[in-house]
Amino acid sequence: MPTDLAAEAPELVARNPLAQVPTPIRDDGAALYDSPVICE
């Protein structure tokens, strides 16, 4: 999803409470936003 990094996008905050990029979304709808989790 395109996101303006200068402003907190409500769509991003809804999926990622830390509002960090990247936030990959799995096929089951779960969001991954912690770097070690993303790397694993």
DSSP 1-40: ----TTS--HHHHHH-TT--S---B-TTS-B--SHHHHH-
Domain locations in the chain? 10-39
Residue 19: the pLDDT is 78
Residue 30: the pLDDT is 86
pTM for this prediction:
0.55
* CB atoms inside a 10 Å sphere around CB 29: 7
Token pair listed for 1: 């999803």
Q: Are 16 and 23 in contact (CB under 8 A)?
A: yes
Note the pLDDT tens digit of each residue in 1-40: 666 767 777 877 888 888 777 888 889 988 887 777 777 7
